[in-house]
Amino acid sequence: MTGFFHEHVALTALNTLGIVAHARRLAVLRDEAQLPTLLADGDFCHGPRLILGGGSNLLITQPEVNASVLQLATQGIQLVADDGHHVLIDVAGGEPWHRTVRHTLEQGWYGLENLSLIPGTVGASPIQNIGAYGVEVQDRLHSLRALSLPEGKMHVFSRDDCQFGYRDSLFKQQAGRWLVLSVRLSLSRQPGALTLYGDIRQALEQDGIAQPTPLDVSNAVMRIRQAKLPDPATLGNAGSFFKNPVVDAQHAARLLADHPDLPHYPQADGQVKLAAGWLIDRAGWKGRRLGPAGVHDRQALVLVNHGGATGADILALASAIQAAVWAHYAVTLEREPVTV
């Protein structure tokens, strides 16, 4: 609609891989008061569409995205309940995730510190069920509000309704249907610290911190991520490009017999999660390039745009890595970013 959607808009700055592309039309939703205007747009509601948050989990494969693109940019964090032990907060879907994490720590609301410095927005966090260092967003989510775009109806989802899995949810499975407008998080006022992962313990030990606070954990996670992961502002990337694969116990046992140093994590269902970065590194791809697309030299899970890479270049590199890991270990790697 005139004045809301704009035609032929560059998307290069709206995806952290820095892929050069344009949207046929794009609008930015900054206030839920704009929803009636959005829902009155038949092209958006019933045609092809793409919902953007921070563009940090996105691979655009064509120079022209023939869809209506909506960037969610709503803001706001509101305390809705506080019993002295736990709080419930409502966070608008367009709020940057890391800014939200740091704000909660400033307020004395704990539980998100292990998820520090993850790029993207709050509204995207349950779609991907983001996770790091022993915590997933499902562990802290109470409920969320999402708009069904084909029907124009608002729904409230409990945590169980979201059908969370490893980097998965109902909203990812039904991509394009749901616009996550706000997320309600359940956080603690008790300052516990989850330091199960060796990287975090090592970072804290280096700082001489024996009894870490949640803020200490957040700071440690930030340093770890900054040391391993490139800044998208200087080197285009979409963070971890592959999920950590999960295999059956027998397959894991065979791999560990040959590779006892393979990082592995037994799961509650008897399967075993493997470290995709280790597999890619040992298959010989860490630091390698195929033209302008490459694998980061400090973290093999991250594919980078050295300048001028297209979505096709990134896909070709990803396919070569998947083939190599399969050839070496008979393990299938699944791509993590949404491919458009």
Q: How many Cα atoms within 13 Å fall on the side-chain side of residue 90?
A: 14
Choice among 56, 143, 182, 240 that is catalytic: 240
Q: Which token pair is 279?
A: 């597999």
Q: Do 180 and 123 touch, CB atoms closer than 8 A?
A: yes
Cα distance between residue 230 and residue 215, in whole Å: 23
Please confirm, yes or no, whether 143 is among the known catalytic residues: no
Q: Which token pair is 312?
A: 């096709």
Q: Of 213, 131, 127, which is closest to residue 170 (Cα–Cα)?
A: 127
Please confirm, yes or no, whether 125 is among the known catalytic residues: no
What is the C-alpha end-to-end distance of the chain, expressed in Å?
23
Q: Do 295 and 286 touch, CB atoms closer than 8 A?
A: yes
Q: Which token pair is 197?
A: 């992962």
Choice among 95, 113, 136, 336 that is catalytic: 336
Choice among 167, 184, 225, 282 that is catalytic: 167
* DSSP structure string for 104-163: HHHHT-BS-GGGTT--SBTTTHHHHT-EETTEEGGGTEEEEEEEETTTTEEEEEETGGG-
Q: Going by C-beta distance under 8 Å and a sequence separation of 6 or more, which residues neighbour residue 137?
A: 115, 125, 126, 129, 130, 131
Which one-letter amino acid corresponds to residue 263? Answer: P
Cα 170–Cα 151–Cα 179 angle in degrees, nearest 5: 45
Per the listing, tokens 């092209």 go with: 43
Continuous segment of H or E residues that includes residue 274: strand 272-274
Please confirm, yes or no, whether 106 is among the known catalytic residues: no
The alpha carbon of 311 is separated from its chain's Cα centroid by a whole number of angstroms, namely: 19
Q: Of 203, 280, 282, which is closest to residue 245 (Cα–Cα)?
A: 280
Give me the active site residues, please.
167, 240, 336
